[in-house]
Chains A and B, each alone.
Chain A
Amino acid sequence: MENYIIRVENLRRDFVVGDETVHALRGVSFSIREGEFVTIMGTSGSGKSTLLNLLGCLDTPTSGEYYLDGFSVQKMSRNERATLRNRKIGFVFQSYNLLPKTTALENVELPLFYNSEVSARERHRRAEQALIEVGLADRIHHRSNQMSGGQQQRVAIARALVNNPVMILADEATGNLDTRTSFEILTLFQKLYNEGRTIVFVTHNPEIAQFSSRNIVLRDGKITEDTPNTNVKSAKEVLDSLPVDNGL
């Protein structure tokens, strides 16, 4: 038995809008093994946001099974899913979603606040560790509004790492960033991938797929493509080949 982080079987999700029923997902099945870097791509309306919400345990499917790290999410209560998110998933959002006027450290500590098993000292130590890991050792006590977009996204990634999740779930994590910073963030994701972390990156940008180990394409609520990428491009090399930003 292989070690599956995600196992999705015939996942369906319907929304009732007025008198109409919208089928956002029409039977999606796939599995993700530990240590994979998967991009889930699709245009808007393809159902990728719905899939993201389901994978993130923010929503429950209308039918079908979803196992996260062996736990069936299907029948979990709201509170159980909250705990599952807290222990198993690290979220990275497009718009960072850092707390305003709050230091990087406090932002990163946040998920551990909701885990009563972690002491204050442990929380502090792990948050610092995560910030060092994303290359922000010198920004630990900076407030979120004193940082650039790239730095803010790094803080958000550190926040996603701090609870040592089984999966990092990124939602258009480079969507708000310029080209250079995007590659910086992608380099960071690749570094985490090389360290053995499981990453699911939801995006509409086809370019990103070249940097992941596997690409799933959604269209009209169904998977149309699921291809492993044997030739993973290095984001670091692309970054180095970019003309250096001289600040002008």
Chain B
Amino acid sequence: MNYKNLIKVALKALSNNKFRGFLTMLGIIIGVGSVIAMLAIGQGSKRSIREQISEMGSNMIMIHPGTGRFGGVRQSASSMQTLKIEDYKTIINETSYISACSPSVSSSGQAIYGANNTPTTIYGINQDYMDIRKYTVSEGEMFTDQDVIRAAKVCVVGQTIVDNLFPNGEDPLGKTIRFGKIPFKIIGVLTSKGYNSMGMDQDDLILAPYTTVQKRILAITYLQGIFASAITEELSDKAIDELTAILRQNHNIRPGDEDDFNIRSQEELSSMMSSTSDLMTVLLACIAGISLLVGGIGIMNIMYVSVTERTREIGLRMSIGAKGRHILWQFLIEAVIISVMGGIIGVLLGVGAAAAIKYIAGWPVFVQPYSVILSFAVCTVTGIFFGWYPAKKASNLDPIEAIRYE
């Protein structure tokens, strides 16, 4: 008996009991469908978090002064003055994995223009910052190296600042606003980026040369941070190692002593953020997986009933020459057909449900090809696994007893 015949026989048996077959399949359909839909939801939310983080900057690496000790007293990070302009200069001279690098100092305060004012933050940076944080100038232009060297009182403002300080739709370019007591001439307006994933307005800022902010606002010589951008995402780790080495050397830190700075990458942040959604995905997939298991048990149950019900048929088949393995395969193939057909319908249903969720609820949903393949494989294995015992039972029946079974 070849496999074509076995499949025919199994299909015949299923078509004799269509409704029961469908009900059995339903367990698998719901299991597979929910696995795919749940993974799609989990994956979608993870992707959207990653997207939002990557909007913050490109392969961004942030260096901040770390906690250090002076005479045994641990200092708070913000009061540390260990990052210097020399560190920045060494980095841009010696590094090979960094495509952009900017010093960073910032100050919060009130921006004022005429009768309008708004609380905001002024960031002291250089032109590279635009690339690192993915900002672009929509009107006017960015300040130049000359402005940085001269500590010029120029600035580029975000859209929120424009909205708050120029509510009547005046052209902000060329106007002079004040930040605290210091006047800044607006030479450019940033393209709006909107809110980030943490609900922060990314347009509520003023960018000015770092020298200007250091000297004229904060009156400091150290840096509050250095921002850098790795050439590619894969090189981030190497870049971090390199930066660590450069800074340790610059700061004369002996091997074994702890760093007096902190380096964090965007990837770290992103994986930190997505770990929550990973957990959710695993939980959802587990629940869906359990329903797949229950579906499998349903198959096993029905196959047992089917074997008992068809004991005489099995006895007859055996007495006219079917071997044990013929019977085994017949029932196994039947179980696999149920589970594979259920799997196919389940995949379609899961993908459809994912699309419906995306369309109706507007959730970020992404169906991964691997989840389709995985759940399909799982349900086939489920069919074989749960079909095996009933099929084995059928193949071990004694034809003499089976044929006279009432």
Residues of A within 8 A of B (CB): 53, 56, 58-59, 78-79, 82-83, 85-87, 91, 93, 97, 99-102, 106, 110-111, 113-116, 159, 163
Please tell me which one of the listed residues A82, A85, A93, A101 contacts residue B16 in the complex, with CB atoms under 8 A apart.
A101
A87–B319 touching, CB < 8 Å: no
Q: How far is the CA of A106 from the CA of B8 in the complex (A)?
A: 11
B320–A159 touching, CB < 8 Å: yes
Q: How far is the CA of A3 from the CA of B279 in the complex (A)?
A: 78
B321–A59 touching, CB < 8 Å: no
Q: Does B318 contact A (CB under 8 A)?
A: yes
B321–A111 touching, CB < 8 Å: yes
Selected interface stretch from B103-111, B186-194, B243-251, B322-330? B322-330
A1 to chain B, nearest CB (A): 28
Please tell me which one of the listed residues A86, A99, A102 contacts residue B321 in the complex, with CB atoms under 8 A apart.
A86
- Could you name 13 residue pairs across A and B whose Cβ atoms are closer than 8 Å? A56-B319, A58-B319, A58-B400, A82-B318, A83-B323, A91-B319, A97-B312, A100-B16, A110-B317, A111-B321, A115-B321, A116-B1, A163-B321
Which residue of chain A lies nearest to B319 when distances are taken between CB atoms in the complex?
A91
Q: How far is the CA of A93 from the CA of B323 in the complex (A)?
A: 20
A78–B324 touching, CB < 8 Å: yes
Residues of B within 8 A of A114 (CB): 1, 317, 320-323, 326
Residues of A within 8 A of B320 (CB): 85-86, 91, 110-111, 114, 159, 163
Given A58-B319, A97-B316, A114-B1, residue A79 in contact with residue B324 (CB < 8 A): yes
B400–A85 touching, CB < 8 Å: no
Residues of B within 8 A of A102 (CB): 12
A106 to chain B, nearest CB (A): 8
Count of residues in B whose CB is under 8 Å from the partner chain: 22
Given A58-B400, A113-B5, residue A99 in contact with residue B313 (CB < 8 A): yes
Residues of A within 8 A of B2 (CB): 116
Residues of A within 8 A of B313 (CB): 97, 99
Residues of B within 8 A of A59 (CB): 400
Q: Does B11 contact A (CB under 8 A)?
A: no
B164 to chain A, nearest CB (A): 79
Given A58-B400, A99-B313, residue A82 in contact with residue B5 (CB < 8 A): no
Q: Does B287 contact A (CB under 8 A)?
A: no
Residues of A within 8 A of B318 (CB): 82
Q: How far is the CA of A78 from the CA of B323 in the complex (A)?
A: 8
Which residue of chain B lies nearest to A50 when distances are taken between CB atoms in the complex?
B400
Given A99-B313, A101-B16, residue A113 in contact with residue B1 (CB < 8 A): yes
A113–B9 touching, CB < 8 Å: yes
Residues of B within 8 A of A87 (CB): 321
Q: Does B80 contact A (CB under 8 A)?
A: no
Residues of B within 8 A of A85 (CB): 319-321
Q: How far is the CA of A42 from the CA of B324 in the complex (A)?
A: 32
Residues of B within 8 A of A111 (CB): 320-321
Q: Does B289 contact A (CB under 8 A)?
A: no
Q: How far is the CA of A97 from the CA of B317 in the complex (A)?
A: 10
CB contact list, B280-338 vs A, under 8 A: 312-313, 315-324, 326
A79–B323 touching, CB < 8 Å: yes
Residues of B within 8 A of A91 (CB): 319-320
Residues of A within 8 A of B403 (CB): 93, 97
Q: How far is the CA of A40 from the CA of B400 in the complex (A)?
A: 18
Q: How far is the CA of A85 from the CA of B403 in the complex (A)?
A: 15
Q: Does B399 contact A (CB under 8 A)?
A: yes
B326–A58 touching, CB < 8 Å: no
Residues of B within 8 A of A86 (CB): 320-321
16 additional A-B residue pairs with CB within 8 Å, beyond A97-B312, A114-B1, A114-B320: A58-B399, A82-B318, A85-B319, A87-B321, A91-B320, A97-B313, A97-B316, A102-B12, A106-B12, A110-B320, A111-B320, A111-B321, A114-B322, A114-B323, A116-B1, A163-B320
Residues of A within 8 A of B317 (CB): 110, 114
